[in-house]
Structure 1
C-alpha cells in the first residue's frame, strides 16, 4: 500500500490492483473518441447553439480564455436521454493566476426526447380527500363557520400528504397550503368543541410541511430562459490555443509504490541517521513531519501512473492536493479521509456548492492533474502572450457537476450550465 495512504486496498498478488477511477492519457494519434481532447479549439453539441459569450471570458480580466479540456460526457446508465459534453477553460495570463474565476467549467446537455410532465399523485390524493370530505359533510349536519376554519376537519384535510419534510420529489406547486391562512370569517368564530381540537402530531406534521428543507430554489436563471445571449467570440479574439491531444483511457492500476521523493524545496538533515544506518522508515517519518500528508498521498497515488492527465469517476471522490487551502478545507474530512469516501453537498463540512440553476446537489465527476500542464505547455514558451505570460500554477482542478444533469426540457434543445471548478493552486515556495 502507499506509505501515505493506510486506507488503500490490498494488492492483488502483491503486484497490481485496479480501482474504479478511469485515467486519461494524452495521445497525438486520432482515437475512436474524437470528441474528448486536451487543448485545441472546442467543438459544440450543436454548432447553432454555442455557449453564451459571457462564459468565454476570464472573470478576472474579462478576456477570452483557452480550452484546457473537452470531454465526451455521455452517461447512459445515469442519464439515458441526455447527450453531455464537459469543458474546462483557463486564462493563460500570468496576472490572473491564483485568482477566483481564472478557471471556469461548463456543461452542455441536449435532451434526446422531451421530459414527461411531473407526476400528479399528490394532486390526485388531494382531490380524493376533498371528495371524501364532501361526502361526509353531506351525511352529517353542517358544522359552524369557526369549526370549518380552525377545527380538526379543516386541518386534517390540509395536513401533509407527504409525510417526509425532507423529500425533494415535490415541487412548490404541490406543497400543501398553510392551514392557518384561510380567509377571515365575516361573523364571529365559535370556539370549536374539544373533540374537534387537532392533535399535537397533526399540528407538528402540518408545520413540518410548511417549513420544508428540500432543495433550495434556483439562484440563477438558465441561459436559455434569460433572453438573447451575447454571441461566443470569434477565434480571432482568443490567444493562440494549446496544442490539441486526444484522450486515451484505462482504469487505474496501483503497483508497489516507489521510494518517496523529497521535493526540491525541502531539505532534510539525516546525516546522523545515515551514520547510524538510518532506514527508509525514518526517512518517511521525517518527510511526514515536514510536509502536508495529504499532498504526499496525492503525489504517491499519481506516482503509480505518472503519465495520467485526468482522473474520472462520476459520483466518486477527488484526490486532494492539499487540505489547508480553501478547496481542501471545503472538501477534506479528517474523520473519513480514505480514497473511497464520497464527496457531495450533504453532511459535515464536505460541501461542493449546490447547482445554482436547479438547487440540486453537485457531485464530483473529474479532475485534471499536474501532468496536464507539462503536456499543454510543451514548446509553448511565450507563444502569443509574451514571455511573462503562460505558465499554469495549479495543482489540480476538481469538477463538480449537477447531480440531476439539469437542462432544457424540450427535445433536441441544448442547454448550457456553468459548473463548479475547485482549483487547488501549487504551494508557494
Structure 2
C-alpha cells in the first residue's frame, strides 16, 4: 500500500513517484547559508542578552545540563509575520536517564519585530464556548516554492541555496529554519525582515518551504504574563555541560517516494494462498494477528523512511507526524484507530480538535511542527565513533503553540517549553 497509505497530506502523483508536503532535513558537514539550523553543537540564542531560564537546561530525571540535539530557525512569516522564532531540542546523554520522561525537552524562543496592540475582547455570554476551535485550514499554496524558493513539482531545492537557510539577497520571507547568522554557532541574532513578501523574494531555505499561506487562527485566550514571579536561575556556563555532539548543518528537500514495482510471476509458476488447517492453530493465529497489528505502525514508519534513508528530520507545520508505534503512550494519544476503511490516521489536528496537550502558557491548542528520525542518531554516533551514545529513541515529535504565544513587546525575547513526544525504540 505504500507509498500512498500515508498520514501526510499533499501528495502529488507524478507517475513513477509521488511528492508530499513534508520537508526533509539532511545533515551536512559543509557550512551552508543557514548556520543557525544545525544538528548537535552549541545553541545560539535570538538575543545573547536573554538566554533561556536555567531550569530549562536540565534533564528532569538527573537535574543535570543536557546536550543540544537540534536547533532550527523557525520563522513562519505566512503565519506569524511579526515573530522571530527558534526551536530547540535538548537530550540528556546519560544512559540511566534514557527512556524516562523529561530526559528530552523542547524549547521555543519567540521575539516580535513590532509591538502587538492589545486586543479588547468583548464580554462573552455564559453559554458561549470557552475556547475557539481551530479553523479549517485554507488550501495550501506551493509550499516548496514558499519555503525553499523552488517549484514542488521539481522535487528539489535550488542548488545554490540551503532549504533551511534564508540568507538570500533581498529576501524578506525567511525560511523558518534559516536566517542570516554568523559562522560562529552561538552569538549573533538574526535581523528581522521588514520588506513585504513577493514571489521573487521567496526564501531559498528549509524554513521558507515550510510556510503555508493561510493566516494563523485567532484565539480568545490571553497569553500568560511574561514576567516571572521570582528571580530566574541563570543559564549554566559551557563548562557545566557535557561534551557537545559534533555539529552538522541542515540541507533539505521535499519528500519524494518512488512507486513500488509489482514483481512478475514466472511462467508456469502458481501461488497457493490456501493454508493448512490445524486443530491447535486458533491461539497461534490470534497471537500472530496481534503481533502483526503491533508491527503495522513500525513497518509503515520504516518503509516510509526507506524512500529517503538519509533524512534526519521531517517538517510539516500543522501537518501530521509519522508514528513509530501505535502501542506506546504517544502512539495512543495521536493514533486514531477509527481513521476509516484504510486503517488509521494521526490526529494532531482533525475536525477542529487536537490530540496534543494545550499550551500551558496561553491555553491554545498545540500543533505538530517537526520530528526527528533515527538516522540523526547514526549521524551523531558515527561522528564520534560510538556504537551507542545513549540515544534509544525511535522518533521525537514536537508540538508547538498554535498561536506562537510570547511577549507582546517588540524586541523582547520570550521562552516557552513545548510538548515533546518521544517514542522509544522497542526492546525485545
Q: TM-score range by the shorter chain?
A: 0.5 to 0.7
- 1:367 is displaced (CA, Å) by 0.2
Please name the residue that 1:321 is paired with: 324
Q: Counterpart in 1 of 2:302?
A: 299
- Give 2:348's aligned residue: 343
Return the alpha-carbon distance in structure 1 between the equivalents of residues 129 and 237 of structure 2: 49
| Equivalent pair of 2:321/2:346 in contact (CA under 8 Å) | no
SS of corresponding position for 1:399: strand
Deviation at 1:18, TM superposition (A): 1.0
Question: Partner of 1:236: helix, strand, or coil?
Answer: helix
TM-score (norm 1): 0.67
State the Cα deviation string for residues 281-332 of structure 1 (Å, max 9, x = none). x9xx999837510111101110110000000011000000000001001110
Indicate yes or no: 2:374 matched with 1:370: yes
Question: Is 2:315 aligned against 1:312?
Answer: yes
Flag the 1:62–1:15 CA change in 2: closer, same or farther, 3 A: same
| Residue of structure 1 in register with 2:5 after alignment | 5
Label 1:162 to 1:372 Cα distance change in 2 as closer, same or farther (>3 A). same
User: Which consecutive residues of structure 1, in runs of 5 or more, have no partner in the other structure?
Assistant: 124-159, 170-213, 261-275
> What TM-score, normalized by structure 2, do the two folds share?
0.68
Aligned pairs for 1:13-24 (under 5 A) are 13-24=14-25
The alignment covers a number of residue pairs equal to 322
Instruction: Give the conservation status (yes or no) of the 8 Å contact 1:316–1:342.
Output: no
1:250–1:70 distance in 2 versus 1, CA, 3 Å: same
Aligned-partner Cα distance in 1 for 2:378–2:3: 26
Aligned Cα root-mean-square deviation (Å): 3.4
Matches within 5 A, 1:267-416: 289=292, 292-336=295-339, 342-344=347-349, 351-380=355-384, 390-416=389-415
* 1:229 to 1:31, Cα distance in 2 relative to 1, 3 A: same
Residue 7 (structure 1) shift: 7.5
Asked if the contact 2:368–2:398 (Cα under 8 Å) also holds between the matched residues in 1, the reply is yes
Change (3 A) 1:95 1:215: farther
Q: Distance in 1 between matches of 2:101 and 2:249?
A: 28
Shift of 1:17: 1.4
Counterpart among 123, 129, 149 of residue 165 in structure 1: 129
Correspondences of 1:91-106 after superposition (within 5 Å): 91-106=92-107
Q: C-alpha displacement at 1:32, in angstroms?
A: 1.4
Q: CA deviation at 1:256?
A: 2.5
Indicate the residue corresponding to 1:35 in structure 2.
36
Structure 1 CA distance for aligned equivalents of residues 120 and 132 of structure 2: 13
Counterpart selection for 2:247 from 237, 244, 248: 244
Cα distance in 2 for partners of 1:115, 1:340 equals 37
Larger radius of gyration: 1
**Partner Cα separation in structure 2 for residue 22 and residue 95 of structure 1:** 34
In 2, the alpha carbon distance for the partners of 1:259 and 1:309 equals 29
Contact in 1 for aligned 2:335/2:344 (Cα 8 Å): no
Q: How does 1:197-212 map to 2 (within 5 A)?
A: none
- Would you say 1:73 and 2:74 are equivalent positions? yes
